Amino acid sequence: MRLTILLLALIWTGHVGAQKAVELVFSAKGCCPMCEDRIVGALDVPGVRAAEWDQFEEKATVVYKPKKISPERIKQLVAEAGHDTEHFTASDAAYAELPACCLYRDGCQGCSHGKDHDHDSEED
């Protein structure tokens, strides 16, 4: 009896593990750790296993289940949060909601830690 349950558990675990999670990497504009929180937060949805965003590379890395969410939808969610991606541009309304620090279209001028990222590699 106990062995049967164990076997069933093993089969079930194997079945769940068989659902493939896929990694998606795409460019997403932003400035700072606040942007990171916003982007990662926007991707806290069913089907997304893990999400991270690199402020220096301005790239998002997302592990997701293709059966539950599409790569287009993932990029759309990031754009809806106010961050331009390679296929979806944030609406002006969404962009306007960003705090000054996060206005990447203006070169992240508001960042207090601007030295951390050389957007246009301009020295001032």
- Does the footprint of Cu ion cover residue 102 (CB under 5 A)? yes
Q: Give the separation between CA 35 and CA 17, rounded to whole angstroms.
A: 32
- Own/partner contacts of 111-120, CB < 8 Å, gap of 24 or more, are 111/31, 111/32, 113/32, 116/32, 116/55, 116/56, 117/31, 117/32, 117/55, 117/56
Interface pick for Cu ion out of 35, 39, 77, 79 (rule CB under 5 A): 35
- Does the footprint of Cu ion cover residue 32 (CB under 5 A)? yes
Q: Provide the minimum distance between the beta carbon of 96 and Cu ion in the complex, in angstroms, as a whole number.
A: 14
Interface pick for Cu ion out of 21, 24, 34, 45 (rule CB under 5 A): 34
Binding footprint of Cu ion, residue count (CB under 5 A): 5
- Does the footprint of Cu ion cover residue 40 (CB under 5 A)? no
Is 31 or 81 the residue whose CB approaches Cu ion more closely?
A: 31
- Applying CB under 5 A, the span of 19-27, 68-76, 78-86, 100-108 interacting with Cu ion comes to 100-108
- Does the footprint of Cu ion cover residue 51 (CB under 5 A)? no
Q: Provide the minimum distance between the beta carbon of 55 and Cu ion in the complex, in angstroms, as a whole number.
A: 8
Q: Which residues bind Cu ion (CB under 5 A)?
A: 31-32, 34-35, 102
